[in-house]
Amino acid sequence: MNPSQTTAAPATTVHVLVVDDDPSMRQMIADYLDDNEIRVTALDGGKGIADVMARETIDLLILDLKLPGEDGMQIARRLRGDSDLPIIMLTGRKDEADRVMGLELGADDYLTKPFSPRELLARIRALLRRSRAQETVADGLARIRAFRFAGWELSVRLRRLTTPGGDAVALTNNEFNLLAAFLAAPQRVLSREQLLDLSRLHNDEVYDRAIDVQVGRLRKKIEPPGTRQQLIRTERGAGYVFTATVQTIH
């Protein structure tokens, strides 16, 4: 397959964009996905991404971390500025810090080379299922202006968190999604898997603890030192519960 070649498919087929500078890797992914009725557009770098997305509907991006020019980290950061496109990041590196950074910058899943095409297909399907579930949640949030809890307010439309004293608290994209998931289901046990799905965090066995890290960071922002009320309670072996009463503002 040429660097920017696209496989033909019916309009209803899932369309995946693959960006990798290794021709054999692009060919392997394209052939396997095509055999499984997934349409593929393949690029050898980030320069053509904007053009492809302008003329095509892309359902998921497979993005190599190490690319000439603009690398995968930079591309993921740029895309996350205005898009919720699901991203699977590929890399030959095994350093956990690189994986965490990729996820922090907006990747939804991660595969280390070499990997099984069958595993890649399974992750694509799982990520698309999660994405559709998130669209349903997003539809519900679109009807909500804000959540209020324990004197705090989270503006859904402005994506802004305000303390009881009126100060703004900066939230990362993952922290906002995680808090919104808690506020949409207060006083209910939410499993790690549910929170991973709703907050767009990685959900394989290596990163199952990613939700614990994110919950810890969120706690530091809404339960500062000296605060007596525990807003997020850990239910051992089950998940987490948002303990406060939540008022929904439509």
Q: 61 pLDDT exceeds 90?
A: yes
What pLDDT is recorded for position 207? 44
Same domain, 25 and 58: yes
Return the CATH number at 78.
Answer: 3.40.50.2300
Using DSSP, state whether 55 is helix, strand or coil.
Answer: helix
Distance CA(233)–CA(215), nearest Å, equals: 10
pLDDT tens digits for 157-207?
Answer: 888 999 999 999 999 877 888 999 899 889 999 888 778 776 654 434 334
Same domain, 133 and 19: yes
Alpha helices in 71-223 (DSSP H): 72-80, 96-104, 117-141, 173-184, 192-199, 210-222
Same domain, 175 and 85: no
> Which of 110, 139, 168 is the endpoint of a domain?
139
> Which of 139, 159, 181 is the endpoint of a domain?
139
pTM for the full predicted model: 0.56
Same domain, 19 and 135: yes
Higher pLDDT, 92 or 205: 92
Q: Domain limits at 126?
A: 15-139
Q: What is the tally of helices (H) and strands (E) in the chain?
A: 8, 13
